[in-house]
Structure 1
Amino acid sequence: VNSTPDNSLTLRFLSTTSCEFVANAFAYFVIAAKQNCGTHTNTVAKPGDPICINGVSQPYSTSIQVDATPGFGCNDEVTFDVAFTASETMPPGSCVIATLPQGITYQPGSCNSICQSNFDCTPALLAGSLVWQLPAGIPAGQIICFSFNTTGWSGLDCEAGLILFRTAAEAQALCVSTGDTCSIKVNTGSLVLPFSPARPDLDLNNFVVSATQNGANDELTYSIDITNTGAPTLPDVLVDFYIDTDGNGSGDVLVFQAGYDESIGTNETITLLGLFPIPAGNLCHLAAYIDPEVQCACSGDSAFVNVPIAYQTEQEHFACSGEDIIVGVPEIPGFDYQWVPDDCLLDPNAAMTVFNCEIGGAAPEVYEFVLTQSNNGGCIIENHLNVTLQPLPGIVFAETPICFGESANLAASPGVSHFWQGPGIGNPNLQIQIVSPAVTSTYTVTVEDETGCIGSDTVTVEVNPLPVADAGADATFCAGEPAQLSAFFNPGYDYLWSPGPPALSSATVHNPVVLNAQSATYSLTVTDENGCSAMDGVSVSFSDTIELTISPDITICLGSSTVLQAAGATNYEWSPPGDCQDPACSAILVSPAVTTTYAVTGTDTAGCSAQAFVTVTVTDEAIVINDPPVNICPGETAIIFGEAVNEPGIYCDTILNTAGCDSIHCVEVLLKPDIDTTFSTGTVCQGGSVVFEGEILSEPGLHCVTLPGPNGCDSTLCLTLAVLDTPQVELIVPDTVIMGNVIELSINPTSFDSILWSGGNITGQCTNSPICTDSLSETGSFDYSVTVTGGNGCSATAAQAVFVTVQCDVEKVDIPNAFSPNGDGLNDMFTIVSPGEEIVNSMKIWNRFGQLIYEGRGPWDGRQNGKPAESDVYIYLIKVGCPIIVTSEEKVLKGDVTLLR
């Protein structure tokens, strides 16, 4: 209700007085309420009007002050310090009255006063209140004080209350009901001290557990929140874990107790984490409880475990592809079951069912199942179990098709046994076979792997025939004649001649033209559309040019004959023809009636031919014939037409011809000059040589050569040779450098007319500089040289090889302790941190269950079987070494790395 007077309450009291009544006192009315479940709400305290006795007045007044130590909480003892002053001198019979809550008792002997030495502060207990008699005569305004201890406060509930302190004076009054005069007390001052126990108010929330099977028990990992909405707790907050056997709290079994050893502040929530075992089958009966009495709390709480409950069955099943296995958990009556996912399961709603799946590929696949069991009571348990499906072993690699004559590699899955069948199999128990079938053939293997899975697989190796390679017949070509090769042509073939250009016009056509007129053998490789190749060769030769000679032109008399002679060929053919003088017809007898030009064609054994011409002039006049000249040395003689002559000139002789024309033969005699001597000079650098008239000279001095001439005429040539000094130079360069570092090259001495560098990347660089630098990005041996030329034109060369290697020290390799493969480009891969060129020779990664999840040379991308691996700690074994060009020991690194997602 929210309107007056429906929301108000009126109480009336009938009271009577007695001689012990304190006049002018007033009653306190206290109203308290509780919410649902006993939680306290507001408490209202209000004083009533003073209750007076007629004829009695207040003789003096007091001002009271009270302090309570340490306050009202979980402590059992409270000390009260009381101090007050009076407005008048304290008369006899004055007292202090303290009314304490029910259950609170005075601690005997605890009262003392430091303000009045004559104050006996031992109280009397009257009508449930403590009464102290005050010494008389204490002056007005003087502080009166004392303190005392009380016990029993920890036994009070959390409701607010009041403590009443009053001072009173003694007076006489008439009791109307009896007519007697009696001694009464008159209220001279009062103090109401409210109190409200400051205690914790605790709630339990988010009670989550996951379980793992451990024999007859379930090993629980729990998490639970404790929230305090009251005063800070004392240290060591305890939570009890029970198995609720009947659902009503009675007969529950305590299975574990967890504590929080610090104080929980006001409006603070903490989370307790831990693990403990319980008997199997009680997950949904688990409850947590905070006892308010134990914790000195206004309220405690209880909480049942949240559902669904994750249950790790630790079932790791292994099956071969296509194999039936039974998976699941024992069925419990009253529960329904549902598999997620339900792939490859016979009954997705059964506690135990048959799993059968088939996979391809070479890598096993892991099926992660959640079997949810639930009942009408709200119990939901998610059972986690895995099935690793092993693919059946078989053929993992086969080279097909192949070309005739080639070998094919066949590889089966790793296993403990292998059995191959097919043509050309030598040892059928080997994992890898090398076969060379002549025709397309089928091969079968049966493999049993390390897990016991047995599989059979078949592959057909297709054998393609070789292409036709025919480079053509060997051929000989005549000089100057176009030479062209002609191989068998198939438009589906690729052709490759070797050598190719510039010897041939093209290396990739079937009929290239030979450009180099030299005898050679050309190899042809043809490749068909299947990639099969075959080879053939052809030899090409070129005949020498026919040096065909013929008689010189001649003049004959009309009616006479002459013999025309040809040479340089094997067979001859004349036009116009003549009378052959030998089988080859190299000479013919002709008797032309008129001047005639004769052509002769000479052919050699290769069929090559050449042509020459001679003209026979027919005349009836004298014929002048100039014979070749004759040379003589001074003092020599020559026989000319049967006579000895020693003078130069032209000598002729007339020969009569019966045909009527004469021939006049003339010979010119020439005189050679006297013996000639020629002198010359020359220079050569030290260690060098010159060729003089066919002789090799390297020593200094005068060198002469006599050259004999025809008919005894000689000449002399002389050379004066001087030998020049060769410059001396030293090339300074380190023997070994690290790849990428700067190589500094220098010479000693440094002053020359010309300095030329070569080698590495400096050829043509640093010309005429005595210093040159280089940097190489490849490893190996590199030759450097420098050629210098001095002022005399002589040169010298110095050379040295430099070996380029990489920087590698396996002892300086570091390993990260964590990585995060989240694709942000930072720490996405796990591998070594190498200061130089250190490399990973091998890397193996295991999970916490000892399963090998990665093997290779790294880096590892945090994936297992192609899927992201879970955030966890993984074990590694890494072998680190250097490139083969660096001699070093291999280092083995072991440890663990944390994968973070």
Structure 2
Amino acid sequence: MRIASRLLTAIVLLLFYPAIAQDYCVTIESIMVDACTLGGTCPNEATPTCSCEGKNEMFRFKVGADDLNVANLNINWPNNAFQGICQNALTAQNTADLNEQVEACGWLVEPEDGVLPAGSQVLVVTSADMCIPSNSFASLSDTLIILYQCPGNFQGHFANFGTGFRTTTISFGGGCSSTATYDRSLLVTQAGVPGAEDGATVDFDLDGNAFYHNPGCNAPVPVSTVFAGDPEQACPGDVIQVGGVVDGPFTDWEWSGGSGTFDDPTALSTIYTLGPDDTETFFLTLSATDCNGVVTDQLEVVIIEGVVPVISPEGPLELCPGESIELTASGIGGFVWNTGDEGNTLTVSEPGIYTVVLNGPCGQTEASIEVTEGDTPTLITSPDSPQGLCEGQSITLSAEGNGTIEWSDGSTDSEWVVSSPGTYSVTLSNECGTATETWEIIDAGEPEITLLNEQPVVLCEGESIELIVSGIGNFIWQDGTQGNVFTVSQPGSYLVQLEHPCGEAELSIEVLDGGAPPQAAIIPMGSTSICAGESVVLLGEGQGEFLWNTGSSDDEIQVFLPGTYTLQVTNDCGSDVASIEITQPTQPLVVIGQGSEAAICNGESITLTATSTLPITWNNGVAGGTLEVSQPGTYYAFVQNECGSDTAFIEVLDGSPVAFFEASALSGEIPFEVTFDNQSELADFYEWSVNGNFISDAEDFSFTFNTQGTFDVTLLATDSAGCSDTYTLTIQAGICDPLVFIPNTFTPNGDGINDVFRVVTQCIENYEIRIFNRWGVLLYTGGPGDPAWNGNNGQGYYVTDGVYLYILHYTDLDGRQEELNGTITIFR
């Protein structure tokens, strides 16, 4: 009968759904992100159902104003693909088993013919292969349509606690869809704090706002609620509007409570008129009935009477001179004081009557308080303190004033007779505070005078000193001056007498002549400028004890370092300090900026630069930091002072490299390979370039010209001192103009540089050159492929240095013949 009754209720409620007006097509209401499982991990589809969280996740949505059909449903999970909705014998058995869990009056049904009625609530389970006991349906109190995704996804569809956002979208086509997004980091445990725990659920309102909670292992089913409203405030006899809200399958509802009347107690929103007995806070009850019985909630109504304001602190109040009081009024509404000030606080600094008016929700009331003028406590006491008490005597302490007297023993009389030494006090109290007086009653003992000055007492020249004595009683000095302090400006004996409560005493004080204050002086026993390794003796002078800043207390000290030396001389009349500065001249040092070597390039001049803190003199007598030289040699800079001298030397070298090279050919057809024979002199480094572009830093150089044109091949020869020279030959590649290059000099001295005479030609078919001495004797005949002339006369002897004649005949590629002649100079 229980199942039949629930089924009937489910059918009735499903029939009722289309009558519910909605302004949306479909909306996601809740997602159970972290479903409960009874087993362990779920590595594959064959894992037992109760171990797979991915088969037991759920979410709930609500249908809008029009019916929908499951056949049109598509779900876009955050993870995994949608497998479609299954409705078969397995899902029917699942539904029946789940309904057995329901303890309230709710019911689970599968759709008929796939129709989801307007206004219906639908729960989607992520697999028909679900675990029935994993997530409870016991609290279901409404009819819920249940859908099962077809088996196939055993992994999770949602993402549990972590980072990032996840979005689920459902769609029925035709623009009918709903999307819900949640933040994984806001998922909570059952304790309500962010973290990972089974049962994490996210609810969504119609605007898609997410609300995070964790009801444990309970399915995300709708919960029936009744809300009577927030507390209301009312004055007696008022008329108030009440409005309740119910959410769930309630069939009727009714208001009750109070002594007044409802316009319509069966309407959720109605008017309530307060009754005569509604004079203090009371409650109105909203009761709603569903299949589980009656659910109630109460609305608190707070009665606001015409409250009389209360002023604190309570009066009457006394205002002490120079003070102020802050008056605070309490009540509901706005406050206006008779001073014109508004607000619940008022600071007053004058006596008078102060009134506050309260404009409350139920009328206007007022309260007043009187502030009177108070007196500052004034305490009059006698005798003065301290007082000496002789043996067997007593002293009467008296006090009076504008308040209550209390002695330190708790008595409140105006006098207190004390007969023993000690500390005694009296306090006067009134509304404006307290005043206290303290007496020190000491044992007078025997009359005795104590000198407080450091002894012996020394008076320095031109100064004065205060003699200070202590004791109980009155002091009289030899000139009749009274008091415990006496100023003297001359050495001698001074007498003071003491009138003691218990007798008399006298003391003679001897003031000694301390002489003049010391004058410190330091006398150097030599120069105050000492070189490194030297010293000077400093002699101290002055009357008193010596203390040098070196720590020595001797009359003289020997110092070896520059610095400031001080001497403090101290005696009874003070101290004096003298100081002296010991300096150390700069140690002679001179540095030549170019180092130890420099070079003069190609007969030019260079400027040597020297630096020093002292005047500089060069070896040629020139004074100053620079010296321009144009000849190689050894140069030095010299400085000196009283601590010695220093000399810096530099060797200036002759840097005159000569760049020269020969080419294996000056012209030819492309590709045209040319070998360049480096014959430079006095050079250490080389740079070859073609038309200004760097090619190589080798000593000798070969280059292939692959394009037609005229090319300048340049050799830059540099020595170790940085001096350089250049030599350039022009190479014609692919341009065959006849060219004959005949050197006009060579140096056959056997040094491997320019030792032979060689003719260089381009675009020449053949040539012959003959060389003669000045008397016409033939010395050499050569042509292409013949050895170059090395200055031999052809008979095994070398010719002497001088000028020789040559005649050269050549035939170019076109068969034209030409003759060239000139001279050659030999020097070794």
TM-score range, shorter chain: under 0.3
Q: TM-score, normalised by structure 1?
A: 0.24
TM-score (norm 2): 0.26
Q: Greater Rg, structure 1 or structure 2?
A: 1
